[in-house]
Copies of this chain bind each other. A is one copy, B any other.
Amino acid sequence: MKFLCSQSDLNSNLSLVSRAVASRPTHPILANVLVVADSQKNRVSLTAFDLSLGLETSFSADVSEDGKITLRAKLLNEIVSRLPEGEITLMAEEEEDDDDDSQIVVLKSASGQFQVRAMNAEEFPPLPTVEEGELVQLPIVMLTEGLKGALFAASSDETKQILTGVHLTGTPDSLEFAATDGHRLSVVETTLSPETDDEGNEQGESPEMPNLEGFAVTIPARALRELERMLGSRSESDTIALQVDEAQVVFQLGYQRLTVRKLDGAYPNYQMLIPQQFSRSICLERKRLLSSLERVAVLADQKNNLVKCTFSNEDGQVSLSVDTQDLGSAKESMPAEVTGNSGEIAFNVKYLMDGLKALATKDIKIQLNEGNQPVILNPLGGLQMTYLVMPVQIVK
């Protein structure tokens, strides 16, 4: 194997796939990245796979000799990131001894050369492929919106299995993203709108919109965070290909591919949790509420993260208060439009702040009923998003 490429191409592509390298690999080969050079296409592909999440990418290079090899991902990444800009030659020397599994790879740059031990590519597990699943082209904007509003609410507790993922459900013209960790739930509905041209007219020859009816899958949050990173630099008007079968989900974006094993099991029927009727509503400025919560959280931090929220219809006001025996107390108030009876309710301040950060509009609406029933937060205008948080019982 031998190829010539630019330091920046090799570096950026290595950084990307390195994120799928297992931090504590169960087998030495899983600490490696697979490098494949193809002289016909004049491209080099890099693959990393921790047996759940796989990332593959390729870039153009001057390939003078086909071949494949695996190299320690972390070491290679650290070396390449420090090399000076300019051309790099990478070549695997012929194996002198067939019994020996290890080969030497030479990395030459203007400043000198590195020789690093490589492992045979045959041992590297192949990335799963999806053969039968239907291929869907999704506008990138749907994914970025959905992930931004839902990803943070997934559970980070690995024992909660299905809750560590985001659940995607399709209708003929929309895709819904839902995530919950058992304490709060975030649901975002994104719409497949027909593409319009600059004047707002539907384009005659726009690509067919996919029909997502019946589509349902739960994808690990960790993989979706990598997807979010991949999407970060892309134009929102581009599309990404998504393919799902019994076991795997594959996203393909240009030369970048992300594969991940689906989360098995039935996702909770979260729509049942969302009350359909409310006896009270509060409209107020999102950032004002958020910054007040951030201040009182300093004290709430010391005592179960509990914040009491008093809302007064007569005064048109919401007050937040925290009272700790040891350290002191805090009280802040802000104007609000309160419909229904005045009252009070308590929350875990962290869950409330998380939701407010994601809602992303100037004003929001809080809807609630008496007692201990779920509370709903919605943005006023913009995104179709519902954030549900359970109140905490106030001990009198």
Which residues does A use to contact B, with CB under 8 Å?
Answer: 72, 75, 78-79, 82-84, 104, 111-117, 291-292, 294-295, 298-299, 320, 326-334
Contact = CB atoms under 8 A, between A and B. Distances in A.
Given A75-B327, A328-B104, A114 B82 contact: no
B78 A292 contact: no
A328 B295 contact: no
Contacts of A328: 104, 114-117
B83 A295 contact: yes
21 contacts: A75-B298, A75-B327, A79-B299, A79-B330, A82-B291, A82-B295, A84-B291, A104-B328, A111-B291, A111-B292, A111-B295, A111-B332, A111-B334, A112-B330, A113-B330, A113-B332, A114-B330, A115-B328, A116-B327, A116-B328, A117-B326
B78 A117 contact: no
Contacts of A112: 292, 295, 320, 330-333
A-B pairs with lowest CB-CB distance, top 9: A112-B332, A116-B328, A78-B298, A82-B295, A114-B330, A115-B328, A115-B329, A79-B298, A117-B328
Given A82-B295, A113-B331, 19 more contacts: A72-B327, A82-B294, A82-B298, A84-B291, A111-B291, A111-B295, A111-B332, A112-B292, A112-B295, A112-B332, A113-B332, A114-B299, A114-B328, A114-B329, A115-B329, A116-B328, A117-B326, A117-B327, A117-B328
Contacts of A327: 72, 75, 116-117
A298 B77 CA distance: 10
Nearest to A294: B82
Contacts of A299: 75, 79, 114
Contacts of A78: 298
A215 B380 CA distance: 69
Contacts of A116: 327-328
A82 B301 CA distance: 14
Contacts of A79: 295, 298-299, 330
Contacts of A334: 111
A122 to B, nearest CB: 21
Contacts of A320: 112
A115 B330 contact: yes
Nearest to A106: B328
Instruction: Give the residue among A111, A115, A328, A329 with the most B Cβ atoms within 10 A.
Output: A328
A108 B299 CA distance: 15
Contacts of A330: 79, 112-115
Contacts of A332: 111-113
A331 B75 CA distance: 16
A328 B78 CA distance: 14
